[in-house]
Structures are given as C-alpha cells and as structure tokens.
Structure 1
C-alpha cells in the first residue's frame, strides 16, 4: 500500500474568448467526468512557477510567459477509489505562440506517455455532474474574471 501524502501541484489557466483550456478525465468507479486545467506536480526543490513552465513544456511542447499566481486551493478528494490531498497553486499565463488560441484543442502527453486532448471549454461546460476541479477553482476563476 502506498503512503498517503499531501501532493503539491501547480495548474495553469489559459483563457481565450470566455473559455479556458482543460483536460477531460473520467473516474470509472464514480462513473463521472471531470475537467482540470493543464499542470502537474511540483518537484522537491522546485518553485511552483518553475513547475508550471516545465509541465506545460513537457505536456504541450510549448513555452509560456506572463505567469501570475491567482490563488491557492486545498483539495481533498477520491479518484479511482483512492483518497487524494493536494495543495494547488493556480496560475494564469499566456502561450508565447498566439496561434495556439485559434486551435479547437491541443494535443498533449502525460508523463507516462499517454496522450490527451486539451480543449477550450466555457463555464457552461462545468456542472455538478461534470465539475471543474479542484474544488473551489470555478469560484476562484469567476472572482478573477478568467471565466464568464
């Protein structure tokens, strides 16, 4: 059994015309779809803003700039039947390549090599049945005027 621990995570919000870029996940045990922005774990000795630059480069193969910390969230959840606990640094940033905003989705790769498709979604894409995670992110983005 793996040791339970709190994970430090950095997520990045890319927004364009009232939409944000998110990955779609599915929890087969809960039979629930949910959405989460691009990002990942903060490595030991790494600052969260450096982690998000690295994660976006690794996952999407692109560079970003104008990083701005918009908030910190604490997330306690269950995914695939396993408990999780994360402290999440949430950043706003922009892609250096403006052409990425015109694409309906961006192809990416997880650290294990699995591919994913990040898509632009508006606020009405997120519901109680298909939420934006982590908990509190939707309200944080609304208060920062990053989601309509």
Structure 2
C-alpha cells in the first residue's frame, strides 16, 4: 500500500529541523523532516499544520510547496512506499530558532534536532526521503557545505 505523507522543511541557515529515527535491522540512525500521514479527505497543507501542532505544539507560517518525492524503502525489514509532499515552512515563534535542543516529538518522544546539512552532504548523516538534499540544495551549495 502506498502511504501519502507530508513533511515540513524548516531551516535555520544551513541546519534542517529533523526527527531522529533508528532502524534496528539495518543498525542505522537516520533523520527526516517532521510531518506525517495525510488522512483521507485532508489536504496535505492541512495535514502539515496538524502534524506540527501535534508533534511540537507550534504554529507554522510562510508555508509554500517545495516538491514531491516518491520514497520506496525498507524499514525494520519491511518494504514501504510513500508519496511525500514537501513544504518549506517557518515556525511562527522566532524564539524556537534559538533553541539548541527543540525537544522531543510530543506524541512519541522521538528526538528532534537541528541537523547541519553539511553532515548529510559529507555522508556523515543519512537524511530521508532520498533525493531531499538535491531538491533543497544546488550543486554549488552542496560544494560550499563540504568546502
């Protein structure tokens, strides 16, 4: 079954707001922007606002479509397939960007952090969905981050 998913790309300079996940079967720690499933009858942008309220108790502003990625993957030994709708967004409260530790996802306790995109470009951190870095950064920006 293909799962519709919405993710919010929130940046602080060259850092990206992400949750931290772990795949025990692969022995891999990975990162993903925050968001979640789109419910039947719910528009993707509505789902994005709902997910950020549920996960971080924050409001979003400057929400703008960023792209769509198809993500075929394996997690915990099981196949998965997602159509991922991506939005650029900002947290309405400017003090959120000053937090070194944004805190865990409220409904799951999953760690949330600011991930330097340089870590992803250099291959020291895994970011999903695949193709997100190429959507967000030009080759020149990727080169600058590894410089």
Could you state the TM-score of these two structures normalised by the residue count of structure 2?
A: 0.89
Following TM superposition, by how much is the alpha carbon of 1:125 offset from its aligned partner in structure 2, in angstroms? 2.2
The structure 1 residue matched to 2:64, chosen from 61, 68, 71, is 68
- The corresponding residue for 2:13 is 17
Instruction: Write the deviation string for residues 14-65 of structure 1: whole angstroms up to 9, x where unpaired.
Output: 1012111011111110011111000000000000000000000000001111
From the two aligned structures, give the one with the greater helix fraction. Answer: 2
Following TM superposition, by how much is the alpha carbon of 1:108 offset from its aligned partner in structure 2, in angstroms? 3.5
From the two aligned structures, give the one with the greater strand fraction. Answer: 1
The alignment covers a number of residue pairs equal to: 141
**1:18–1:146 contact (8 Å) kept in structure 2:** no
- The corresponding residue for 2:110 is 116
1:135 and 2:127 matched:
no
List structure 1 segments (4+ residues) > 3 angstroms apart after TM superposition: 127-130, 145-148
**2:66–2:87 contact (8 Å) kept in structure 1:** yes
Q: 1:85 to 1:133 in 2, by over 3 A?
A: same
**2:18–2:115 contact (8 Å) kept in structure 1:** yes
**1:23–1:116 contact (8 Å) kept in structure 2:** yes
Give the Cα separation in 2 of the matches to 1:14 and 1:93.
Answer: 5
**2:14–2:118 contact (8 Å) kept in structure 1:** no
Q: Which secondary structure state, in structure 2, belongs to the residue aligned with residue 115 of structure 1?
A: coil
Following TM superposition, by how much is the alpha carbon of 1:146 offset from its aligned partner in structure 2, in angstroms? 9.2
- The corresponding residue for 1:44 is 40
Q: Which runs of 5+ in 2 are unaligned?
A: none
